[in-house]
Amino acid sequence: MRIGDEYDIVVIGAGPAGSTAAKFAADKASVLVVDKHREIGSPKRCGEGVGIRTFNEFGIPIDKRFINTEIYGSVVYAPNGKELKVRQENIMGYVIERKIFDKYLATDAVRNGATVVAESHASLWKEDGKLVGVKVKHQGEKLYVRSKMVIAADGVESQIARDMGIDTTLVPYEADSCIEYEMCGIDFDEMDLLHVFVGQELAPRGYVWVFPKDDDRANVGIGIVGNEKKTAKYYLDRFIAKRPGLMQGSILEVNVGSVPVGGFMEDFVKDNFMVVGDAARQINPMHGGGIYEVMLGGKLAGDIAGKAIEENNMDLIKNYAKMWESVRGQRLKKVLKVRNFIEKLNDKEIDYLADIWSGEDLFELTRGNYVSVFKKIIKHPKLLKMAKNLILS
């Protein structure tokens, strides 16, 4: 396979955001996707929990090759051990195999007309200050690829947008720092639910997750606020050490990474350049779930980029931020408000909420529907005051 010299659009990064953007852009334009890794989807850096709507909305087949477990609900464990459980009869989501899933999304982009090339590290190519394409280091070769547009989908550490003059820097508070072990040989109950453990003592601002991949295998991970002095590994190892059913397991894989949960960018576009996905902080700030969000951000970007090429009108992409804001941004900003409320609580207050809220209430909160849920806080003066401020802001 040879990378061609010229495309309408080059997408940097073949994660879920990049492959989805490429798939939709390829309806109307010639598209190249480059990824620096030798294998798309690897390393995984993910708990691999995905809601059913990602499959429904993006027409992804229920393919055993990338589905490990059917998930019927979740349990959130408060610091005092109280369980907020939701269990449904229907499948609510899956724990997937990201390495195969991401490759499937790239395959889907290729089958829709895009060209995808792994082991290709890209940087921006500018002439007289104008973006004219990308420079690619591909298997020891340095190639220049001309394009009318570049889409950066290069993940949370995004350097590309910064090189274009868009500030994507995250201060430590704005990111959760994560570590995860894929463990096998564990003994854990209800391996058809997602398990989430919360509490400031346990995981400052974040949570520990046990996302089952088999009856005896799960992703066991943690995300904590990025400016916490102790490491995520310290908290995760301490959590596991207290649970013999996990302690007995072997570690098949260790993944580290961060999640940009601190807020949203105002704009994602500069001239003939767009940024999407984690690189653009398109993520649910409550639980850090990004797969659905970045695919949605990627689809919107791919659609508008393809249209701009087809109509030879680069100004069209200036509407991207407004489009994302109305389709998704406004909702995610509500979720961020709830997260900002919850992160200020101590463990006693979290226990109090666990007594008055249900598992369904938590679901509503992750969707940004908080008014009716917060009305339940009438008997706790401090929380009521905080909730009032949240509702009025």
Q: Kindly identify the residues of this chain, within the stretch 60-119, that bind ligand FAD according to CB under 6 A.
A: none
Residue 224 contacts residue 212 (beta carbons within 8 Å):
no
| Residue closest to ligand FAD when measured from CB atoms | 290
CB of 389 to ligand FAD, least distance (A): 30
CB closer to ligand FAD, 257 vs 353: 257
CB closer to ligand FAD, 134 vs 354: 134
Q: At what angle do helices 347-356 and 381-392 cross, to 10 degrees?
A: 80
Residue 46 found at the interface with ligand FAD (CB under 6 A) = yes
CB of 311 to ligand FAD, least distance (A): 27
Judging by beta carbons within 10 Å of its beta carbon (0-12, 13-18, 19+), is residue 189 exposed, middle or buried? exposed
b/e 57-81 (16+ beta carbons within 10 angstroms → b): ebebeeeeebbbbebbbbbbbbbee
- For the chain, state the CA radius of gyration: 21
CB of 331 to ligand FAD, least distance (A): 16
CB closer to ligand FAD, 153 vs 170: 153
CB closer to ligand FAD, 49 vs 199: 49
**Amino acid residing at 307:** K
Residue 133 found at the interface with ligand FAD (CB under 6 A) = no
Q: Kindly identify the residues of this chain, within the stretch 210-229, that bind ligand FAD according to CB under 6 A.
A: 221
CB closer to ligand FAD, 18 vs 73: 18
Near ligand FAD by CB under 6 A, which window of 107-115, 271-279, 338-346, 382-390?
271-279
Residue 32, beta-bridge partner list: 10, 115
Residue 36 found at the interface with ligand FAD (CB under 6 A) = yes
The site map against ligand FAD for 6-25 (x = CB under 6 A) is ------xxxxxxx-------
DSSP conformation class of 39 = S
- DSSP count for the chain of H helices, then E strands: 13, 18
CB of 135 to ligand FAD, least distance (A): 10
Residue 69, beta-bridge partner list: 95
Instruction: Quickly list DSSP for 116-164.
Output: EESSEEEEEEEETTEEEEEEEEETTEEEEEEEEEEEE---TT--HHHHT
Residue 257 found at the interface with ligand FAD (CB under 6 A) = yes
Out of 30, 47, 261, 329, the only residue in the binding site for ligand FAD (CB under 6 A) is 47
What is the Cα–Cα distance from 134 to 12, expressed in whole angstroms? 9
Tokens of 296: 């949605």
Size of the site for ligand FAD (CB under 6 A): 38
- Would you tell me which residues interact with ligand FAD (CB under 6 A)? 12-18, 34-37, 45-50, 121-122, 153-155, 160, 178, 180, 221, 255, 257, 259, 277-279, 283, 288-291, 294
